[in-house]
Structure 1
Amino acid sequence: MSQPPRPSLPPARKRLGQHFLTDRSALERIVQAIDPRPGETIVEIGPGRGALTDLLAARAERLVCVEVDPLLVPILTARYADRPHVTIVEGDVLEVSLPSLVEGSWALVGNVPYYITTPIIFQALRTPRPSRMVFLVQREVAERVAAAPGDDAYGALSANVQALAHAEVVARVPAGAFYPRPKVDSAILRLTPRADPVVTPEEEVAFSRMVQGAFGQRRKQMRRVVRELFGLGAEAAEALLARCGIDVALRPETLSPEAFARILRAAPTAPRDPSR
């Protein structure tokens, strides 16, 4: 008896930033990077047409897929109806509490729309965090996230993410690996939450504000940056940096997340909001 035909797939929706990964080798590289383990749940962001989902379903003990497109949800639900370990959830990943979808250890993976990459990364880094994350993102963003102090790409995004997780660019993925083809190349980014985060949850907002303010003055020396961030006089700013073991002539682009955290904790006041 022949199988009923699969329902026709809707076209990619520009409004949702949909670019479906079709290259088999890139898909397999993502699965290798997330490396599903016994006893854990894999949460996939944006399963789309199911290309990555198929490979994950073959490896994961439990797979939860969060899809925002209401046209794709019923198709995915029907496609995996005979696989009880796969659950399809309709919702916006920025509005869904991912930890509430799982029990026990979990890992997060997904082909992330370019326009919401940064919010998704920071939402995933909130506690309780997954054991690891693998995202397919715009190449430039991946390189910025993983950049080391002193690199041209190192900035506020790098310091904020690396304060909470170790970042690694696993592989680069050309634009031709997608349909429809995006205008830029992508990269597979792996984040592993730090066992000892540089900042506590209570410090994260102030840390982010300080780092944003510092990189808004990235070519200035730290003696001037600290003065402006905390409203200090020259002597007080230099004394603060000395207590932190930081050369007053350094620039923000050379400081590690740990160095920024030392400044935050040594400062007599909260950093000024750079947006004001």
Structure 2
Amino acid sequence: MSVREDLLKLKIIPSKERGQNFLIDPAALAGIVEFSDVSESDSIVEIGAGLGALTNELKHFPDVTAIEIESRFCNELSSRFPSVKVVNANVLEVAFEEFGDQLVVFGNLPYSLSTDILFHVIGQAYCIKRAVFLLQREFAERIAARPGTREASVLTISCQLRARTTLGMIVPGSSFYPQAGVESRLVRLDFYRELPYRIEDEGWFHMLVRAAFSQRRRKMFNALLSTGLLTKDLLEKAFSAAGLDRNVRAEMLTIEEFAEFANQTLKLKS
């Protein structure tokens, strides 16, 4: 039975708002599993399993959990894949530690929810070994951009603080039903067990990074000053202590430089 026929049977119309484009390319589905380097000993969690195209590739592994918000899909998944644990839930309300402490997470994420889901996963990196996501190509490439270049963003810094990022294959819009209007791309995040950077206060670090990128066209000094997070005097001292040029823009800083700057501001504030 085709995806279209399955959807008709379940009386589900793919939602543009939810970004419901179902991956139907067998080569792409097999490629996702290969790219993940998943093994028999891994506990697997799939986000947004839908009709189970990727679940079908994963069902042979001994420990697989599929999270799906649509109850009609859940009933279908449970019927098709009796060995898979199906959880009817909003993934943003799920605590991943329930499923293990060295998880491999998969997901073909809708663009409208990609940022929220990604940050939810990063926030639980302590129990996740690796995540493999199929995302809109531009979004995936922003995650894997090199910090210190014009392509870098808050997303880049936040992801690469916690994980080593690797880009995978590009998937054309024709590989989906309904056909997607843009290309997608695989990205893999291998999470660090321990942070490779010295950061005194991670919450403060993220607050500064978001503030620094809040006005990309402005110099970082001026962008931060306009937020009111730090006084001009403290900013001047922190830039000097961290060895930063006052004319630098946020995208030109590496993670190490952001970490040092955040640590210096904390020291000066105390």
TM class by smaller structure: 0.7 to 0.9
Is residue 163–residue 258 contact of structure 1 (8 Å, CA) maintained in 2? Answer: no
Query: Would the alpha carbon gap of residues 237 and 199 (structure 1) be closer, same or farther in structure 2, given more than 3 Å must change?
Result: same
- The residue that corresponds to 1:246 in the other structure is 244
Is residue 199–residue 207 contact of structure 1 (8 Å, CA) maintained in 2? Answer: no
- The residue that corresponds to 2:121 in the other structure is 124
Say which SS state the counterpart of residue 92 (structure 2) adopts. Answer: coil
Q: CA deviation at 1:117?
A: 0.5
Q: CA deviation at 1:104?
A: 4.2
Is residue 22–residue 51 contact of structure 1 (8 Å, CA) maintained in 2? Answer: yes
Q: Which amino acid aligns with 1:152?
A: R
Which of 17-26 and 212-221 deviates more?
212-221
Q: Which amino acid aligns with 2:43?
A: T
Q: Deviations over 1:187-206 (max 9, x none)?
A: 11111112332476x83432
Say which SS state the counterpart of residue 16 (structure 1) adopts. Answer: coil
| C-alpha separation in 1, matches of 2:64 and 2:220 | 47
Normalising by structure 2, we get a TM-score of 0.86
Q: Which amino acid aligns with 2:37?
A: D
Is 1:164 matched up with 2:162?
yes
- The residue that corresponds to 2:35 in the other structure is 33
Q: Which amino acid aligns with 1:71?
A: R
Q: Which amino acid aligns with 1:232?
A: T
Q: What is the count of residue pairs matched by the alignment?
A: 258
Q: CA deviation at 1:13?
A: 2.8
| C-alpha separation in 1, matches of 2:131 and 2:28 | 16
Normalising by structure 1, we get a TM-score of 0.84
Q: Which amino acid aligns with 2:76?
A: I
Q: Percent identity?
A: 32
| C-alpha separation in 2, matches of 1:231 and 1:208 | 15
Q: Which runs of 5+ in 1 are unaligned?
A: 1-5, 271-276
| C-alpha separation in 2, matches of 1:199 and 1:78 | 48
Is residue 59–residue 81 contact of structure 2 (8 Å, CA) maintained in 1? Answer: no
Which of 67-76 and 218-227 deviates more?
218-227
Say which SS state the counterpart of residue 246 (structure 1) adopts. Answer: coil
- The residue that corresponds to 2:3 in the other structure is none
More helix by share: 2
Query: Would the alpha carbon gap of residues 187 and 10 (structure 1) be closer, same or farther in structure 2, given more than 3 Å must change?
Result: farther
